[in-house]
Structure 1
């Protein structure tokens, strides 16, 4: 093969197969609320390693589902590529197998909403070059993590400017048979008020005043699609701006790996919009 032909072949391969140079790290993030540390996966875009202290990045928090852990997203998807593509930091904390990302009234040892929504965010801002504002933070997750992401965003509107849910269990009252859910929510009969208060479908009105960039999707073959449609319909009735989609697929990693690409694009667009609208952008 002559030199010119080899050059063009290499160039073609580079253009059709981009080099992804993101960095993936495992960090231990302490929880004062639960008196222990939990591992988390942090993915940094390639540019992060070449930047200065002045170069800072928005952050997308990705929550795993029931029975999962902090390795799920990176093990089952090509999530790291999105860090490079959209120049964002991705954080995948450990939310316990069946925590539902709430501060449990039934189990005082389970305080995962405080951990993920407050302690993890504070740790990431302290140890990485983030843009530490609500306009540069997003949170999403799948299934139990979809519920958790919306719950945390609703309860902490000053922390997150964007939120999403993928195949989210937005009405935990329809998940009473889920193993372990009663341990954190309490008995559904005796603690019905708490279950009702935490259901995202019952909190749609809060999104009216939260001003959160919102994206929700679910597979048409997913058993959770009905509750997601209900949430969507209530948001429409209230006039709450949001992105909603139903796509072919069920409660599977094939669906989630596809969906997360749309959601991170949504968040990246939200970050750019908020940056353009900030006073500094017009100074």
Structure 2
């Protein structure tokens, strides 16, 4: 679930581990922000729990960066929004929405930084919402049974949805897509909130969280990522808090996805694929996190077939855990996702 952090590269002929970031820093050359006309914070409607948009910057004709004061997170967080042609705040209509989640060690700018989502989405009458996920594991943290912040699931599935629908003319025809840990997030949100999304696309996600061995990998990565250094705060202790782990496993909750359009893709070998450009000497290097994602995605697909739940699958073998592969996947599933939302190409 948390495998979108760094590339753990194992040369096939040696046992050396190499770590290299798969996701880069935020935009460094973005145009200077300008305040959006008519969007003063006092004019915006808060979410049920008091979450509110406290700043709005318009980067260009389609792109807005929102700052949200979030009770669920007990801090401020960011959301990037791409609006479609003809959008306006005072429109009488609403727009279908794609919620796009990034992976670990990345930010809310990553989809626009690392893919051509701006150009792709511009051909459709659809809004794209890209919330910050930090390294929050796409769950309301267990905190040894005490709950409390950070509550990333609440931020994404309640606060952000309500703020978009109350202030940005977002509709309830929704899709979710994600890469790496964001792919897990998209799928688990759909499974835990049946009917919230009409379509879900997962690229290189960990979709069988309680598969033997995967909890240990997850704890290792969470310990590496979380500021506290305490991975047990996130989902609890495997075995002891098993019910909480199972309650956040897409494989276990797969039945809840019946009726939702599904796309699942992943590599399985961890070897470089057609979009990758390995350095000399890395032609046979294996990125272990893609192997784990592939194993769990294959498990998940088998579970869907056992339940007779339709899914479009692309298990492609070779391919690293990176944006080059994920952009190719986005181009594959985007038309399917738009068709499910009933949005024709313009």
Same fold? TM cut 0.5 = yes
How many angstroms does 1:22 deviate by?
6.2
- Residue in structure 2 matching 1:88, options 126, 140, 164: 126
From 165, 174, 186, the equivalent of 2:236 is: 186
Deviation at 1:55, TM superposition (A): 4.4
- The answer for the alignment partner of 2:299 in structure 1 is 230
Cα offsets for 1:116-172 (capped at 9, x unmatched): 011101111112122x22xx1011111111111111111222322222211111133
Residue 103 (structure 1) aligned with residue 153 (structure 2): no
Matched residues in 2 for 1:234 and 1:249: separation? 23
Residues 1:272 and 2:342 aligned together: yes
> 1:29, 1:123 within 8 Å by CA — same for their partners in 2?
no
Question: How much has 1:79 moved relative to structure 2?
Answer: 1.2
Structure 2 counterpart of 1:119, from 159, 179, 201: 159
Structure 1: how far apart are the matches of 2:295 and 2:312? 17
Residue 205 (structure 1) shift:
2.2
Q: Deviations over 1:173-205 (max 9, x none)?
A: 413321244331122243233223311112222
| Structure with the bigger percentage of strand | 2
- For 2:108, the equivalent position in structure 1 comes to 70
Match for residue 142 of structure 1?
A: 179
Task: Give structure 1 regions of 4+ aligned residues with deviation exceeding 4 angstroms.
Answer: none
Select the structure that is richer in helix: 1
Alpha-carbon distance change, 83 to 65 in structure 1, aligned in 2, over 3 angstroms: same
Shift of 1:259: 1.2
1:1-283 paired onto structure 2 within 5 Å: 23-48=62-87, 53-97=91-135, 99-106=136-143, 108-130=148-170, 132-133=171-172, 136-173=173-210, 174=214, 175-178=218-221, 179=224, 180=226, 181-208=231-258, 211-220=259-268, 221=270, 222-223=290-291, 224-247=293-316, 248-272=318-342
Instruction: Report the 3-state secondary structure (helix = DSSP H, G, I; strand = E; otherwise coil) of the residue aligned with 1:140.
Output: strand
Distance in 1 of aligned mates of 2:339 and 2:111: 21
Secondary structure of the residue aligned to 1:228 is helix
Greater RCO (CA < 8 Å, at least 6 residues apart): 2
The answer to whether the Cα contact below 8 Å between 2:209 and 2:251 also exists between their aligned partners in 1 is no
Counting matched residue pairs gives 247
Alignment partners' CA distance in 2, 1:249 and 1:54 = 45
Check the 8 A contact 2:100/2:176 in 1, yes or no.
yes
CA contact (8 A) 2:102 2:108 kept: yes
1:22–1:45 Cα contact (<8 Å) kept: no
Note if contact 2:73-2:149 (Cα within 8 Å) is conserved in structure 1: yes
- 2:94–2:169 contact (8 Å) kept in structure 1: yes
Post-superposition shift, 1:266?
1.8
* TM-score, normalised with respect to structure 1: 0.80
Deviation at 1:261, TM superposition (A): 2.0
- 1:237 is displaced (CA, Å) by 1.2
CA distance in 2, matches of 1:258, 1:87: 21
